[in-house]
Amino acid sequence: MKFIFSMYAVMALMVVVNLISEYLLNGGYSAIASWVVTVLFFFGTLFFINARYVFSKKRDER
């Protein structure tokens, strides 16, 4: 369950980075925000892969 929560947290961080970039910084750092979102997407993908591996192991144990 912690992997699912981590994936949700990464998605929420992606939204927060976009909102901060556009509304608080007026799009001045949008290129940096895009790179941060790309890195967060990469980490979210890693959490997804890890969750699939763990859940498939649990299903195989049954």
Q: Do 43 and 10 form a contact (C-beta atoms < 8 A)?
A: yes
To the question of pTM greater than 0.75 for the whole model, the response is no
Please report, for the chain, the start and end positions of each structural domain, with discontinuous segments joined by +. 2-61
pLDDT in tens, the chain (62 residues): 677 787 788 889 889 998 998 888 888 888 898 999 999 899 888 888 888 888 787 776 66
pLDDT at 35: 92
pLDDT at 62: 62
pLDDT at 47: 83
